[in-house]
Amino acid sequence: MSEAFTKSTARNIFWGAAVFSFLLFLGLTFDTTAALPKRDNRQNLTPEVVRGKHVWEQNNCIGCHTLLGEGAYFAPELGNVYIRRGGEFIKAWMQGQPTGAPGRRQMPQFNLSDEQLNDLVAFLKYASEINTEKWPPNIEG
Protein backbone atom coordinates (compact mmCIF):
# COMPACT_ATOMS: atom_id res chain seq x y z
CA MET A 1 0.00 0.00 0.00
CA SER A 2 2.80 2.42 0.80
CA GLU A 3 4.17 1.91 -2.72
CA ALA A 4 0.91 3.14 -4.31
CA PHE A 5 0.58 6.27 -2.15
CA THR A 6 3.71 8.32 -2.68
CA LYS A 7 4.60 11.91 -1.84
CA SER A 8 3.80 12.83 -5.41
CA THR A 9 0.31 11.30 -5.12
CA ALA A 10 -0.33 13.11 -1.85
CA ARG A 11 0.85 16.40 -3.37
CA ASN A 12 -1.45 15.90 -6.39
CA ILE A 13 -4.43 15.15 -4.14
CA PHE A 14 -3.69 18.25 -2.06
CA TRP A 15 -3.38 20.58 -5.05
CA GLY A 16 -6.38 19.04 -6.78
CA ALA A 17 -8.53 19.53 -3.68
CA ALA A 18 -7.17 23.06 -3.18
CA VAL A 19 -7.98 24.09 -6.77
CA PHE A 20 -11.43 22.47 -6.56
CA SER A 21 -12.19 24.24 -3.26
CA PHE A 22 -11.01 27.58 -4.65
CA LEU A 23 -13.15 27.24 -7.78
CA LEU A 24 -16.15 26.21 -5.67
CA PHE A 25 -15.58 29.26 -3.45
CA LEU A 26 -15.44 31.55 -6.50
CA GLY A 27 -18.60 30.01 -7.95
CA LEU A 28 -20.55 30.42 -4.71
CA THR A 29 -19.27 33.98 -4.30
CA PHE A 30 -20.43 34.85 -7.81
CA ASP A 31 -23.84 33.26 -7.18
CA THR A 32 -24.29 35.16 -3.91
CA THR A 33 -23.22 38.45 -5.49
CA ALA A 34 -25.72 37.94 -8.30
CA ALA A 35 -28.58 36.96 -5.94
CA LEU A 36 -28.18 39.71 -3.32
CA PRO A 37 -29.65 42.65 -5.29
CA LYS A 38 -32.88 40.67 -5.73
CA ARG A 39 -33.15 39.84 -2.03
CA ASP A 40 -31.59 42.53 0.14
CA ASN A 41 -34.10 45.38 -0.30
CA ARG A 42 -31.38 47.97 -0.99
CA GLN A 43 -33.75 50.17 -3.02
CA ASN A 44 -35.56 51.05 0.23
CA LEU A 45 -32.44 52.14 2.13
CA THR A 46 -33.15 55.67 3.36
CA PRO A 47 -31.41 58.05 5.78
CA GLU A 48 -34.05 57.15 8.40
CA VAL A 49 -33.16 53.46 8.07
CA VAL A 50 -29.45 54.25 8.46
CA ARG A 51 -30.13 56.36 11.56
CA GLY A 52 -32.34 53.56 12.92
CA LYS A 53 -29.48 51.10 12.46
CA HIS A 54 -27.29 53.45 14.48
CA VAL A 55 -29.93 53.54 17.26
CA TRP A 56 -29.99 49.72 17.14
CA GLU A 57 -26.20 49.56 17.48
CA GLN A 58 -25.78 52.32 20.09
CA ASN A 59 -28.29 50.67 22.41
CA ASN A 60 -26.86 47.17 21.84
CA CYS A 61 -30.26 45.73 20.91
CA ILE A 62 -28.49 42.71 19.43
CA GLY A 63 -27.14 41.95 22.90
CA CYS A 64 -30.60 40.58 23.78
CA HIS A 65 -32.53 40.28 20.50
CA THR A 66 -31.85 38.52 17.23
CA LEU A 67 -32.30 40.18 13.88
CA LEU A 68 -32.60 37.83 10.91
CA GLY A 69 -31.14 35.05 13.03
CA GLU A 70 -28.06 36.96 14.22
CA GLY A 71 -27.60 38.05 17.82
CA ALA A 72 -28.54 36.86 21.28
CA TYR A 73 -31.43 34.54 22.01
CA PHE A 74 -32.45 36.20 25.28
CA ALA A 75 -35.32 38.18 23.78
CA PRO A 76 -37.54 37.72 20.68
CA GLU A 77 -36.43 37.79 17.03
CA LEU A 78 -37.14 41.25 15.59
CA GLY A 79 -36.71 40.55 11.88
CA ASN A 80 -40.46 40.40 11.42
CA VAL A 81 -41.69 42.45 14.39
CA TYR A 82 -42.88 45.25 12.11
CA ILE A 83 -45.09 42.79 10.21
CA ARG A 84 -46.34 41.18 13.42
CA ARG A 85 -47.03 44.30 15.45
CA GLY A 86 -46.70 47.48 13.36
CA GLY A 87 -44.82 50.70 13.91
CA GLU A 88 -47.13 52.32 16.47
CA PHE A 89 -47.03 49.22 18.69
CA ILE A 90 -43.22 49.18 18.56
CA LYS A 91 -43.03 52.84 19.61
CA ALA A 92 -45.57 52.37 22.41
CA TRP A 93 -43.77 49.24 23.61
CA MET A 94 -40.42 51.02 23.73
CA GLN A 95 -41.91 53.98 25.61
CA GLY A 96 -43.70 51.72 28.11
CA GLN A 97 -40.62 49.80 29.28
CA PRO A 98 -40.00 48.36 31.78
CA THR A 99 -43.48 46.92 32.20
CA GLY A 100 -42.93 45.66 35.74
CA ALA A 101 -44.91 42.51 35.01
CA PRO A 102 -43.98 39.93 37.65
CA GLY A 103 -42.14 36.84 36.43
CA ARG A 104 -41.13 38.42 33.13
CA ARG A 105 -37.75 39.54 31.92
CA GLN A 106 -37.64 43.30 31.80
CA MET A 107 -36.47 45.37 28.87
CA PRO A 108 -34.72 48.57 29.97
CA GLN A 109 -36.05 52.04 29.25
CA PHE A 110 -33.71 53.64 26.71
CA ASN A 111 -35.41 57.07 26.80
CA LEU A 112 -35.33 57.42 23.02
CA SER A 113 -36.59 60.62 21.42
CA ASP A 114 -39.52 60.54 19.00
CA GLU A 115 -37.08 60.91 16.09
CA GLN A 116 -34.98 57.99 17.33
CA LEU A 117 -38.11 55.85 17.75
CA ASN A 118 -39.26 56.72 14.22
CA ASP A 119 -35.80 55.87 12.86
CA LEU A 120 -35.72 52.57 14.76
CA VAL A 121 -39.16 51.67 13.40
CA ALA A 122 -37.97 52.56 9.87
CA PHE A 123 -34.99 50.24 10.36
CA LEU A 124 -37.19 47.39 11.62
CA LYS A 125 -39.60 47.96 8.71
CA TYR A 126 -36.66 47.78 6.30
CA ALA A 127 -35.43 44.57 7.94
CA SER A 128 -38.90 43.02 7.68
CA GLU A 129 -38.96 43.64 3.91
CA ILE A 130 -35.74 41.72 3.21
CA ASN A 131 -36.38 38.44 1.39
CA THR A 132 -35.19 35.98 4.02
CA GLU A 133 -36.66 32.85 2.45
CA LYS A 134 -39.27 32.58 5.22
CA TRP A 135 -36.93 33.23 8.15
CA PRO A 136 -37.75 33.06 11.01
CA PRO A 137 -39.67 29.82 10.62
CA ASN A 138 -41.97 30.77 13.51
CA ILE A 139 -43.98 33.94 12.86
CA GLU A 140 -43.62 34.98 16.50
CA GLY A 141 -39.84 34.89 16.20
Q: In whole angstroms, give the CA distance from residue 8 to residue 31.
A: 34
Q: Which amino acid is at 22?
A: F
pLDDT recorded at residue 2: 57
Q: Is the pLDDT of residue 1 over 60?
A: no
Q: Which CATH architecture has domain 43-141?
A: Orthogonal Bundle (1.10)
State residue 10's pLDDT score: 93
pLDDT at 140: 73
Phi, psi (rounded to 5 degrees) for 30 = -60, -45
Listed in sequence order, the residues at least 6 apart from 74 whose beta carbon sits closer than 8 Å to its beta carbon are 63, 64, 65, 105
Q: What is the pLDDT of residue 49?
A: 97
Residues 18-43 have a mean pLDDT of 94
Q: How far apart are CA 94 and CA 112, in angstroms?
A: 8
**Cα angle: 97, vertex 67, 101; to 5 degrees:** 25
Residue-wise pLDDT tens digits, 12-29 = 999 999 999 999 999 999
Helix/strand/coil for 42: helix
